[in-house]
Amino acid sequence: MSSKLREECGVCGVWNHPDASVLIYYALYALQHRGQESAGIAVSPGAGEPLSLYRGMGLVSEVFSGEDIDRLQGRSAIGHVRYGTAGSNSLLNAQPLVVRLKSRSLGLAHNGNLINATQLRRELEHSGSIFQTTSDTEVLAHLTARDGEVDIEEGLLAALRRVRGAYSLVMLTPEAMYAARDPHGIRPLCLGRVGDGLIIASETCALDTAGAEFVRDVQPGEFVRIDHSGIHSRRISREEVRPAPCVFEYIYFARPDSNLAGSNVHQVRKRLGEYLAEDHPVVADVASGVPDSSISAATGYAEAADIPYEMGLVRNRYIGRTFIQPEDRLRQLGVNLKFNPLHKVVRDARVVLVDDSIVRGTTSRALVELLKEAGAREIHLRISSPPYRHPCPYGIDTRSPGDLIAAGRTVAEIQKLVGADSLGYLSEERVTEAAGGCPEDFCTACFSGRYPVPVDEDGGSSLMESDERE
Ligand code: SF4
């Protein structure tokens, strides 16, 4: 498992635009941080014709050539970037997934993780369904096929009412584009306008990149149909469910230039840094952030503590996804390759080092060592989230509490293990306050263990894969 948490997927869709596949291509570039293992686009060439699909392994820039995009002709398209939780990381599981339902073509692009997928798959196989992939999204396709013989929309809704967990979905048929967000709204999804057309994307940064204008978020539990008569909205669940969007999107996953539920992610992170300075003050000379995701929080800390913000670490931006994570005993080498300390900034300084989270602790320990070797006098680690103690079953690649340094340990024990002179975490209340609410308004399960969608005894894993990632 990576020492950093990874978001699993980004999705987008464009309806009724002459350059649909080009806009999707740009939107996928903007969503690249949400998945770097595969990318794909499915396009509708027109009413009555099956969707065309192009997918590949790698970054968006590696998967698509200009000719590939030119070939994907049509006024409506959906796209996907994947890191992948449920299902192996092979091309077979790359998305969009395109299936034939009787005589109709349906494309699906999914961000999230369905926690009852294994059970549903067993039931479906028992009654004759044959699966092509190990992805949980295919479970949704088979459920839709079962109920959607007459009407795809009713089939999709019936399928969504049976799955549990996290999903932000964009789906395409030649006649309509659909978007759906699970009743808790765990993963983000927003809607925009581009020219005469409409666009759906995981984050608003994709709308900006595609030259679109933000219209609104897709609401938790909302099912949207977009067709030539406009936007039509329905509820997925008949019950009232309390929304619980993932608070970690604010802390780390989303891009700082995105807005989630009206809050700008950079500004929320800056507030997290300010709260850290208020709650865990320390006498220090400089504040620094672990690049890139913690820079907003570190600037907030520096401003609130009235100490200079300095670039204490420089990150090598050209380490690709093929970078082989070394084993723990060589972890320092991997960190040296990724980060270089600015000796002149940190030498003899008391440094506040702000990071968004500590997952395994190996990187934090290596960074503290790196800065001390560069001459820092003291390292005060400040984390802009609470201790990460519980695995996430909703589409983030944490597997078991054994992978998490904070599971079963006190803050003092963690501090000792990472070698910092002091360690301070933000509380759940402060994190959710910075994001504009209180703990009950968000999913905070990886900190609190309170899972908004109850997980099974096995930890809610719906993983159908046998491969493990480092
Ligand atoms: Fe987000 Fe944590 Fe909830 Fe997963 S468990 S959805 S990472 S807040």
Predicted confidence band of residue 470 (pLDDT cuts 50, 70, 90)? very low
Average pLDDT over residues 443-462: 78
pLDDT for 350: 98
* Spatial separation of the C-alpha atoms in residues 224 and 220, rounded to whole Å: 11
End-to-end CA distance of the chain: 4
* Spatial separation of the C-alpha atoms in residues 181 and 251, rounded to whole Å: 21
pLDDT for 205: 98
Average pLDDT over residues 184-189: 97
Predicted confidence band of residue 331 (pLDDT cuts 50, 70, 90)? low
Whole-number Å distance, alpha carbon 90 to ligand 1 midpoint, is 25
Whole-number Å distance, alpha carbon 391 to ligand 1 midpoint, is 8
Average model confidence (pLDDT) across the chain: 91
Question: Rounded to whole angstroms, what are the CA distances from 243 to 158, 174, 250?
Answer: 21, 32, 15
pLDDT for 330: 67
pLDDT for 461: 42
Which region among 306-320, 328-342, 365-379 has the lowest average model confidence (pLDDT)?
A: 328-342
Q: Among residues 211, 248, 252, which one has the least CA distance to residue 30?
A: 211
Residue 436: other Cβ atoms inside 10 A: 15
Task: Look at residue 7 and tell me whether its pLDDT is greater than 70.
Answer: no
Residue 229, Ramachandran bin (φ over 0: left; ψ between -120 and 50: alpha; else beta):
alpha
Chain centre to alpha carbon of residue 436: 20
pLDDT for 403: 84
* Spatial separation of the C-alpha atoms in residues 369 and 313, rounded to whole Å: 12
* Spatial separation of the C-alpha atoms in residues 78 and 315, rounded to whole Å: 33
Whole-number Å distance, alpha carbon 272 to ligand 1 midpoint, is 17
Which of 7, 184, 250, 396 for mutating ligand 1's site (highest number of atoms within 8 Å of CB)?
396
Predicted confidence band of residue 336 (pLDDT cuts 50, 70, 90)? confident
Average pLDDT over residues 352-361: 96
pLDDT for 467: 30
Task: Look at residue 78 and tell me whether its pLDDT is greater than 70.
Answer: yes
Predicted confidence band of residue 101 (pLDDT cuts 50, 70, 90)? confident
Which tens digit of pLDDT belongs to each residue from 40-58? 999 999 888 999 999 999 9
Give yes or no for residue 394 CB within 6 A of ligand 1: yes
Give yes or no for residue 445 CB within 6 A of ligand 1: yes
Asked whether the beta carbons of 111 and 161 are under 8 A apart, the reply is no
9 an active-site residue?
A: yes
Give yes or no for residue 247 CB within 6 A of ligand 1: yes
Specify the pTM: 0.93
* Spatial separation of the C-alpha atoms in residues 156 and 110, rounded to whole Å: 13
Give yes or no for residue 246 CB within 6 A of ligand 1: yes
Q: Among residues 144, 184, 267, which one has the least CA distance to residue 450?
A: 184
Q: Among residues 22, 211, 221, 187, which one has the least CA distance to residue 109?
A: 187
Give yes or no for residue 396 CB within 6 A of ligand 1: yes
Whole-number Å distance, alpha carbon 248 to ligand 1 midpoint, is 6
Predicted confidence band of residue 318 (pLDDT cuts 50, 70, 90)? confident
Is there a cis peptide before residue 452, judged by omega within 30 degrees of 0? no
* Spatial separation of the C-alpha atoms in residues 104 and 26, rounded to whole Å: 28
Asked whether the beta carbons of 352 and 380 are under 8 A apart, the reply is yes
pLDDT for 238: 81
- Give φ, ψ of 47 to 5 degrees: -55, 135
Q: Among residues 352, 341, 415, which one has the least CA distance to residue 378?
A: 352
Which tens digit of pLDDT belongs to each residue from 230-275? 999 999 988 889 999 999 999 999 999 999 999 999 999 999 999 9
Predicted confidence band of residue 328 (pLDDT cuts 50, 70, 90)? low
Q: Which residue has the higher pLDDT, 5 or 162?
A: 162
Q: Which atom of ligand 1 is nearest to the CA of 444?
A: 8
Predicted confidence band of residue 89 (pLDDT cuts 50, 70, 90)? low
